[in-house]
């Protein structure tokens, strides 16, 4: 992949090269990189799901979310105001 991009850049810089072909190569290379990254992301997600023990991601909640208790905002007492 890197060799193709290097070769394309060198051809463009060294002389006449069809810029439409260069644009198409760049576009396809970008799509290939996105597809490879998506595959890596899916592998990492599957690995994490295996570690947590859930299958498909929806069977088990990974986190136990609880509502935060309401805190009352008390006024400082007269003894602590002068400190």
Q: Mind listing the pLDDT tens digit for each residue in 16-70?
A: 888 888 888 888 888 988 998 998 999 998 888 888 876 555 555 556 777 777 6
Q: Is the pTM of this model over 0.85?
A: no
Which two three-digit tokens encode residue 5?
Answer: 């991009």
Beta strands in the chain (DSSP E): none
Which two three-digit tokens encode residue 69?
Answer: 């208790």
State the Cα–Cα distance between residues 12 and 24, nearest whole angstrom: 13
State the Cα–Cα distance between residues 9 and 22, nearest whole angstrom: 8
* Helical pair 2-14 and 19-52, crossing angle rounded to 10 deg: 160
């Amino acid at each position: 992949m890197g060799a193709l991009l290097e070769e394309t850049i060198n051809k463009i810089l060294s002389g006449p090269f069809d810029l439409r072909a260069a644009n198409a190569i760049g576009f396809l290379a970008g799509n290939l990189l996105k597809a490879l990254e998506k595959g890596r992301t899916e592998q990492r997600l599957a690995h994490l799901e295996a570690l947590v023990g859930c299958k498909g991601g929806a069977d088990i909640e990974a986190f136990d979310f609880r509502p935060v208790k309401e805190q009352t905002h008390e006024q400082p007492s007269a003894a602590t105001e002068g400190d």
